Structure formats: structure tokens, C-alpha cells
Structure 1
Amino acid sequence: MSNADAIPPGLTSPTPSEPVLPVAAMPLEVPSAMPALMYPEPLAAHDAAAYVDLRRESAWFESAGQWSTFRGPKAAEALNGLVTNDVTQLRPGEGQHAAALTPKGKVLCDMLIFRMDEETFMLTLLRTCAPQWLATARKYVNPRLAKVEDESDKWTTWMIYGAHASKAVATLGGAAHTVEDLGDVMMQGLAEWNLWQHGLWNIGPATVRLIRAPLMGSLPGFILVADARDADVVRERLEKSVYRKATRAVWNITRVEGGRPAFGLDMDDNTIPQEANLDTLGAISFTKGCYTGQETVARIHYRGHVNRRLRGLLGSSALPQHGQIVDATGKLVGDVRSSVISPRLGPIAIAMLRREVQAGDTVMVETPEGPITAEVRELPFPE
């Protein structure tokens, strides 16, 4: 995955250093040639301040992803046959997290899906996944039933997250320049939006689509999608606000703390959705009709279990990405995927671990300088 990609709405890029934006008896896969170990670094001063703002107030992020539309008289049925969640249950103004799978039930990409009206859906996913996703969709969807269009150039996207994200959005929308009571009403109304709810909202003179997306664990937040022609207006409003701009490094830490996997890092096309916890993250429906890759997912859910899945690690020191993990007997039990240094928790990581490893167990991450001790935690990490 390209390090040049910024974070798309709701998803994240595999590198934390650039500015910002899911079958039983399956063996643990060990690559023949191990990639080089990569150690995380503490946040720079500006990012550390943005992290504090995020926990206490709010911060905003620039975001870039591939936006596409499914539009047509049978758009819901066509899209439903390609993704893990049930889009037919969405009403206009609602959305969800979902994944597209290979025919063998491995993750092709994950995405956010929003219903605009009876015949139109908007989707966003990592740009690096987009060519494969668009090719798959166009291969299997009859254009007379629904048309799949790449609309990435049409939209510009930001995200506002933090303890008081509703206040931040209300202020950007002009509440700070209106009567105080009206500002309070706007903030309260936003705070009461349902998860995945979306609708039109004003940011100064520009109209944006505002989406309440649960992408940061317990921290609330919103995605702002603006017509590209209004991008400068919205960006200027954000830059002149009292809220600090945060980078990909801050996003990556909060993503790991919240236990959300990133495609291309924590999961890829060798990963079954349940291994990446996409079932517990609400990205899979087990009651919908058939879709590509469903047989594998359903067989695991109803008849068995996966032999590995993503867990958290709390390290005694910085944990290297790609590091091999062994238990007390020296047995290989997994590998480190995302690794960060949290200002709140210290060295933490998302790791793919065999199912026999339990929360509370102590494991070792192997490095050329010697093993690093880590405690296994369930995801998300506790507040």
C-alpha cells in the first residue's frame, strides 16, 4: 500500500508518519521471507498536543479515499450480493461498515456504505483498494440494474473527532456566531445523531454531507464530505478554527487504541473477516442472502471458529511491526501488525494471534536485540 495515501473516511493508512484521514482449522501463515522490523516512534510535539486536544476537546484530520456510487433500480440488490453487510436494510440517511470478499471468503477490501435514496449508494474505501474493488463490481453487476461510478474527484473529505466533536462541528457551522441558545441546540442535536446517520449540514456558506461515524472507539466524531468546488471554503474554515489539525500519526494511534484494523496492515487478501474482528465491529450480517465469499464466513460462524484473530499487545518497550510472537515455551503464536506508542498507554500493538493465546497471557516479541515482553489484551484497549 502506498505511503502517499491519506486516510480515507473511516479507514486508515498503514503508515503513521504522513499527514492524514475486515476457516476453522486454518494454520498460522508464516511468510518464507520475513519483512524488515519497523519500530514506532513517539509523537512529535505538535502531534502530542493534538492527541491531548482529541481526548479533551476535538481535532480535525484531512482525509482522502476513493468515493464511488452504486446507482440504479436494482442498486441495493446488486451491492448486497458483493458485500458482507445487509445494505437492503439501510434507509436513506443511514450507513454501515462492510467488506467485499474474494470467492474464497478472504478480505478484498473494507468500506463504508451510505444510502442516499432508494436507488443510490455512496461508498468510500482506500484508494489502493479501489481498482480491484471497481473491477470486481463492474464484472459482476449488470449495468442495466446498477451503474458503478468512480466519483473520487467530485468530493473532498475531512474528519472531526474528539470528546466534544459535536461542539466543534456546530461551531464550524456557524453556531459560535449565533445566539448562544441556538448553538446549544445544534450541539445537542448533533450529539443525539445515531451512529452512521448522515445528512446535509452547513459549514459557513458551503453545504456538506455530515456523517456520524464510529471510527475511534469511544471518541465520537464526524466525517465531512464537501463538493470539491467548495473545498477551499471548508478548508479555510477549519484552518481558522480554534481546533488543531492532527496528522496520520495521531489517527493511527487512536485507531490502534480503538482496535480498528487497517487493510494492508492488520488484514489483507489472506485474512478471513472474523480473523480481523469484522464480525464484532458490526461489518457482517449473518441473516442476509448470498454474497461473494459467504460460504466460508457462514461455515465459521455456525459450525466452527477461526484459529487466529486480532488481539492487542501492551509492550514493555516499543514493539516492532512484523515481529514474530512466541509463547513461554518458544512456540510461534503470531506476529505484530500495527504498532504505536500511545501517550496514554505506552507501547501498544494490534497482533494476529492464535486462538489458544488468552487475554492476560504474557508473550515475547522476537527481535535481534532480544525478546520484548508483552501482555495480551482484548480489543479495543480500555479507556
Structure 2
Amino acid sequence: MPTPCYTHLTDRTLIRVGGADAHHFLQNLVTSDIESADRNGATASALLTPQGKILFDFLIYRSGEEYLVDCPAAVAEDLLKRLTFYRLRSKVDLERLPEETGVFAVWGGEAEAASALLSVTDPRAPALGLRIVGPVAALPGELGAEQAGMAAYDAHRIRQGVPEGLKDFDYSDIFPHDADLDQLGGVSFSKGCYVGQEVVSRVQHRGTARKRFVLVEGSDTFSGKGSDITAGGKSVGTLGSTALVDGKIIGLALVRLDKVAQAKDNGSPLQCGDAELAARLPDWATFTWTEPNTAD
């Protein structure tokens, strides 16, 4: 059997949400159904602006009677302040865990660690592998996996077609459907209200999601994040993160599905700068290239 790989995700940190009202607090605030975390141990999720755009995206783990929010370290303090703002009189304890407790990604096989606080399949896509939380000093020696750098994990994530905030899009810029969060288990359309819920529900029920993250691939180096992707000289989307895999450049791109479909029908190649690229849907996608063509 192949040896699994692991990466200590040093760009992630954990916020503990505890107290008698922890479940109720999160359920009324974030996009996902916290019952899913209770059943499965984890859920993808986000906190939105009142206008329905992603303010923060993260994973939520059930840990005993508490929850751990796995978020980008760069915005952890801002997220903690925002959660504190919404706490009001709820019986909720909020704190950022010290760096001694870390988040590890494991893929390409199974791994166990005696000192782990929790180990769950990544709730966004099983192919991403495991997320394991535990002591940074002990876990690497217990996992029985080969260490890989952050670049290796990002290449693995990109290959699975899973976008992340800050790496692929800026916060407060896009809606959950744009980031495929509805496809990756991070949005509930059956639970009660949460911040930004009306906008997200309207997009879902009217079927007006027309921009999505998809996979792109080419043999030449692409421009950087945020670069235009064009067809026939007109913009059809923007580039997210990229990686070199098996001699090819792969990446994630936020594109207009109908415009890319039209380019495919017309035989117009997609380009990013001088590089020509091909686009395809992630394996887990249930959307298609021919989503409704709505007015610009």
C-alpha cells in the first residue's frame, strides 16, 4: 500500500467555540447546518455579510461538547472579533487556541495518531483526505506518513477542484455559490435563518448561479491570482491559485459558465495572458456548463 502524505497546515489556526449555547450560536450565524458537524464530525461553512458575500470561510469540527473552527491564520483575529460581536448574551466561550495545537492534512492513505484530538474526513470532498487536529510536537511522529510541504498540499487541493478563501478569492467579493460552497457541503437550504441567508436562498431557488470555480490546465505558466481569463479577447473569468503537477500547470478559476460554454461551442480557446488553457468541471460538480444565461 502507498505511504500517505501529511502536511502541517501552518497557515491555519483554530478557534474554540464552547459553552451551553455553542450549537445554537453557530447554527444561527453560519451557512452550514451544525447538525452535520454533530453527525459527521465536521462541516464546511462560512460567515457572510448581510448582503450574502463570503466574509470568512472555514471548517467546523465537533470536539466533545465544543466546536473548533479551522480558519486561515491571517484572518483569525478578525474572525474572533466578529464572532465576539455576534455573541451578545449567548452563553458562549470563544478563544483562539495556541500554536501548540495544529491542523494536519493527510492524503493518499489512512493514518492514526494516539495524541490526536480529532480525525475526520475532509467534509468538502473525501478525495482531499483527512483533517487531523492535535499537538504539533507529537503528531508528525505518530502519523506513519511522509511529510510534504505546503506546496504539495495546495497542489493536491487544487487537483481536487476545491477553492479556499484568500488563496483563490478575496473576502467580501463573492457569493457562496461562486465558491462552490453549496456543492461542497457548506450551505444548508433547509435550516433556519443565518446572516446573508435570504440572498443565498434566492440564488438557489431561482437557479441564477452563473459563476463557478472550475479547474483549468495548460502547458505554459499562467499569470498570477486575479488575472483575467479571456475567450475571443473578452473576459470570461479570473484566475485563482495554481500549481505545477506532472509537468503541467493546473489551477482554479472563477468563470462565467455560460460564456465558457459559448467559447467551447465556438471553438474559441481560453487564454490567461499568452498561455492557452483548457477548463473542466471538478469530479464532484453537479452543475454544468450550460447553466441559465441571465442578463449581465
TM-score of the aligned structures, taking structure 2 as reference length: 0.84
Secondary structure of residue in 2 paired with 1:338: strand
- 1:217: how far off? 5.1
Question: Is 1:300 matched up with 2:203?
Answer: yes
Say whether residues 1:209 and 2:86 are aligned partners.
no
Q: For residue 155 of structure 1, what is the aligned residue in structure 2?
A: 101
Pairing partner for 1:222 from 118, 127, 130: 130
Distance in 2 (CA, whole Å) between partners of 1:75 and 1:381 is 31
Distance 2:137 2:271 in 1: 46
One-letter code aligned to 2:278: E
The within-5 A match list for 1:85-234 is 85-91=32-38, 94-117=41-64, 119-153=65-99, 155-162=101-108, 165-166=109-110, 169-170=111-112, 173=113, 202=114, 207-214=115-122, 219=127, 221-227=129-135, 231-234=136-139
Q: 1:225 to 1:283 in 2, by over 3 A?
A: same
1:257–1:381 contact (8 Å) kept in structure 2: no
Deviation at 1:154, TM superposition (A): 5.2
Separation (CA, whole Å) in 2 of partners of 1:364 and 1:303: 29
Q: Which amino acid aligns with 1:98?
A: S
Report the equivalent of 2:186.
283
Q: Which amino acid aligns with 1:69?
A: R
Q: Give the greater-gyration-radius structure (CA).
A: 1
Shift of 1:106: 0.8
One-letter amino acid of the counterpart of residue 284, structure 1: V
Greater strand share, 1 or 2? Answer: 2
Stretches of structure 1 lacking an aligned partner (at least 5 in a row):
1-52, 174-201
Is contact 2:106-2:129 (8 Å) kept?
Answer: yes
Task: Look up the match of 1:365.
Answer: 271
Amino-acid identity (%): 24
Could you tell me how far 1:290 is from its partner in structure 2? 0.7
C-alpha distance in 2 between matches for 1:58 and 1:83: 33
SS in 1 for 2:259: coil
**Which amino acid in structure 2 is aligned with residue 295 of structure 1?**
E
Distance 1:258 1:143, change over 3 A: same
Aligned to 1:326: 230
Q: Deviations over 1:94-151 (max 9, x none)?
A: 221111111111111111112234x521211111121221111111113542122222
Deviation per residue, 1:203-243 (Å, 9 max, x gap): xxxx212322237956463233224xxx43333445xx5x4
2:8 to 62, 82, 97: 62
Are residues 237 and 115 of structure 1, via their aligned partners in 2, closer, same or farther at CA, if it must alter by over 3 Å?
Answer: closer
- Aligned Cα root-mean-square deviation (Å): 2.6
Aligned to 1:40: none
Matches within 5 A, 1:228-307: 231-237=136-142, 241=144, 243-268=145-170, 269-307=172-210
Say which SS state the counterpart of residue 299 (structure 1) adopts. helix
Q: Name the aligned partner's letter for residue 82 of structure 2.
A: T
For residue 167 of structure 2, give the secondary structure of its aligned residue in structure 1. Answer: coil
The two structures have a TM-score, normalised by structure 1, of: 0.66
Unaligned runs of 5+ in 2: 286-296
Tell me the equivalent position of 2:23: 76
**CA offsets, 1:288-311, max 9 Å, x none?**
111111111111011241332212
Higher relative contact order, structure no. (Cα contacts within 8 Å, ≥ 6 residues apart)? 1
The answer to whether residue 248 in structure 2 is matched with residue 349 in structure 1 is: no
Q: Please give the alpha-carbon distance, in whole angstroms, between the structure 1 residues aligned to 2:138 and 2:180.
A: 38
Q: Would you identify which runs of 4 or more consecutive aligned residues in structure 1 move more than 6 Å?
A: none
CA distance in 1, matches of 2:237, 2:180: 16
Q: Secondary structure at the match of 1:276?
A: coil
The residue type paired with residue 61 of structure 2 is F
Quote the offset at 1:77 in angstroms. 1.1
Alignment check: 8 A CA contact 2:269 2:277 kept: yes
Three-state SS of the structure 1 residue aligned to 2:73 is coil
